[in-house]
Amino acid sequence: MSHRGKKHIIAAGITPSGEFHIGHLREILTGEIIHRACLRLGLESEFVFIVDSADPLRKVYSFLDPEYEKFVGHQLACIPAPDEDGKPSKNGETYSDYFLYPFLDALSKIGVTPKIIDNYQSYIDGKFAEAAKITCENVDRVREIIENISGRELSADWFPYNPINDSGSMDGLKVSGYEWPYIYWSDVDGNTGKNDLRFGEGKLPWRLDWPAKWSWLGVTCEPFGKDHGTSGGSYSTGRKFSEMFGHEPPFPLTYEWISLKGEGAMSSSTGVTIGPMDVLELVPSEILRYFIARSKPSKHLEFNTGDLLLNLADEYERTCLSIVDSKDENLEELSKRQRVLKEEAEGSIRYSKIDDNSELDDSFKVPFRHLSMLVQIRSNDEDVYSALEKGGYITTAKKPSKKLSEKLSKIRNWIESEHFPDNLRININSSIDVELINNYSFSKDYLSQLLISFQDLDEWRSLEISQAINSPAKKMGLNLGEVYSLLYLIILGEKSGPKLARLLEELDKESICKLITQAANHKTS
């Protein structure tokens, strides 16, 4: 991009037709990361977020009351927000603002503060007037571009501007004439009227609206979804229209969708969503940024707030650790591939920071996975911090960092929510279920030896606990997988769970030995 000069306008844009979801974050975070990269290169850069509030309501979505039927075709900035029952509210808030402001709040929490461009207001302010004039005076040329590039035939009465009637609707209108600055229209009932293009009465169709924004804003780069980037798509026609408007088309960057695992691509209109504010209640902001920053835009991403969230946190923490551990490496001693991997890791963490100029916070050293276990067996935060100090994760339990406190709070929210995976829930047995361990023929002999090993331990720590579990098993020639399944059944009633030695370290030794004694002494059926 630097070949286009030192000044850049990076844009992202979304229609506020329904609840924003983390799929929308791919576009806006990709743009914001490009903006940050420009600044790092010493370029002048501005990041703008275009709110397409001039778009009409397309249909009555599933989350809306049928009463919204009367607003179909009306611009989102001009219709009322839905109330808690999905009915048009009477509090004065607009539909577009109702969905926009929670999203902007979420963006601020992940360090994204773009300049907001309201499309509806921009039309009123005459920002689109010049592009509209060029379009309406070159109807045949516009038609030719769309038909040749998109491969679809336009109707004989098609016109490259959508008029609006006196009630505010764009539906069912046909342009009957044009003479700058007015277009004249009629509807199916024979009503007629005119719109003044200088003041944004009506709007350009999407394939012209988009490049018109590039022109008057001076956009040099804009990420967009793969649907717009296909051959014959709106970017293909947009390039030509941008040239008509006297602007070099922005550098294209196509991104793939984010899907909810098992449910498909996220969509506000279908209700397949999870909002960024919902996710930010469950996961630290840096990890949510990392989800986007770690991958090339062309890579399809899957997300859920269960196992994939936990794996994402694991990956983020490993990447942070690798950067810290390799800080003093001599780049000249690395292979080309090693240098590339190092640069990619550093870039993904750099652009995961909320504040681009901040240092990497040490809270990554406390594993998200380990904390999710501790929270379930420690009722208050002070006990969690004490356990972390004992385990060597933090130096003092008295004054945890702000980021660690935030991480702990969000993990508590996660565990208490419907999103927490059942297979990660920890319930420590108070007694054993004999039926569960009857199939382990080796159990009595092994458990007797394990009790001796545990009782001989001077330190009840994970390393010593792990050795005490493994040593008798190896001497008896037992399969370690079966040994661990047996112990999980005794302690949790499940065949698997968190790292066993780490879990036992946090539990009372006497209680664990009591459970193992019960299992060793049980009578087989």
pLDDT, tens only, 159-181: 999 999 999 999 999 999 999 99
For the cut 60, the answer to whether the pLDDT of residue 271 exceeds it is: no
What number is the average pLDDT over the span 403-413? Answer: 94
Domains 2-126+205-258 and 434-520 alike in fold:
no
What number is the average pLDDT over the span 131-140? Answer: 98
For the cut 90, the answer to whether the pLDDT of residue 386 exceeds it is: yes
Cα dist. 18→59, 90, 277 in Å? 11, 18, 14
Residue 251: strand pairing partners: 221
Torsion angle in degrees (nearest 10) through CA of 450, 451, 452, 454: 90
E strand or H helix that includes residue 517 = helix 509-520
For the cut 70, the answer to whether the pLDDT of residue 435 exceeds it is: yes
Query: What is the pLDDT, as a whole number, of residue 443?
Result: 81
What number is the average pLDDT over the span 139-167? Answer: 96
Query: What is the pLDDT, as a whole number, of residue 331?
Result: 76
What number is the average pLDDT over the span 35-44? Answer: 95
CATH class of 2-126+205-258: alpha beta
Identify the top-confidence range among 17-26, 223-232, 434-443: 223-232
E strand or H helix that includes residue 225 = strand 221-225
What number is the average pLDDT over the span 343-350? Answer: 94
What number is the average pLDDT over the span 224-231? Answer: 91
Distance, CA of 430 to CA of 33 (rounded, Å): 51
What number is the average pLDDT over the span 417-423? Answer: 87
Domain locations in the chain as residue ranges: 2-126+205-258, 272-361, 364-424, 434-520
Going by pLDDT thresholds of 50, 70 and 90, the confidence category of residue 453 is: very high
Determine how β-strand 192-196 pairs with β-strand 264-265.
Answer: unpaired
Query: What is the pLDDT, as a whole number, of residue 516?
Result: 93
Q: What is the reported pTM? A: 0.88
pLDDT, tens only, 62-80: 999 999 999 999 999 999 9
Task: Give how far the C-alpha of residue 255 lies from the chain's centroid of Cα atoms, to the nearest Å.
Answer: 14
Going by pLDDT thresholds of 50, 70 and 90, the confidence category of residue 139 is: very high
Residue 51: strand pairing partners: 14, 118
For the cut 80, the answer to whether the pLDDT of residue 47 exceeds it is: yes
What number is the average pLDDT over the span 386-401? Answer: 88
Going by pLDDT thresholds of 50, 70 and 90, the confidence category of residue 2 is: low
Query: What is the pLDDT, as a whole number, of residue 276?
Result: 77
First to last CA, the chain: 74
Query: What is the pLDDT, as a whole number, of residue 262?
Result: 61
What number is the average pLDDT over the span 389-416? Answer: 90
Neighbours of 191 (CB within 10 A): 13
What number is the average pLDDT over the span 218-244? Answer: 95
Q: Of 379 and 501, which is predicted with more confidence?
A: 501
In the chain, pLDDT over 70 holds for what percent of residues?
Answer: 96
Pick the CATH number of 434-520 from 1.10.10.350, 1.10.150.120, 3.10.20.30, 1.10.10.60: 1.10.10.350
What number is the average pLDDT over the span 131-158? Answer: 97
For the cut 70, the answer to whether the pLDDT of residue 85 exceeds it is: yes
Helix (H, G, I), strand (E, B) or coil at 277: helix
Name the nearest CA neighbour of 427 among 366, 507, 485.
Answer: 507
Query: What is the pLDDT, as a whole number, of residue 335?
Result: 86
For the cut 80, the answer to whether the pLDDT of residue 140 exceeds it is: yes
Going by pLDDT thresholds of 50, 70 and 90, the confidence category of residue 263 is: low
Going by pLDDT thresholds of 50, 70 and 90, the confidence category of residue 366 is: very high
Record the tokens describing residue 4, joined without a space: 């286009």
What number is the average pLDDT over the span 319-346? Answer: 87
In the chain, pLDDT over 90 holds for what percent of residues?
Answer: 76
Record the tokens describing residue 522, joined without a space: 């049980």
Do residues 146 and 237 make contact, with C-beta atoms less than 8 angstroms apart? yes
DSSP state of 74: B
Q: Please provide the average confidence, as pLDDT, over all residues in the chain.
A: 92
What number is the average pLDDT over the span 184-203? Answer: 96
DSSP state of 407: H
Query: What is the pLDDT, as a whole number, of residue 444?
Result: 86
Query: What is the pLDDT, as a whole number, of residue 442?
Result: 80
For the cut 80, the answer to whether the pLDDT of residue 399 exceeds it is: yes
Q: How many CA atoms lie within 13 A of 290 on its CB side?
A: 23
Query: What is the pLDDT, as a whole number, of residue 201?
Result: 96
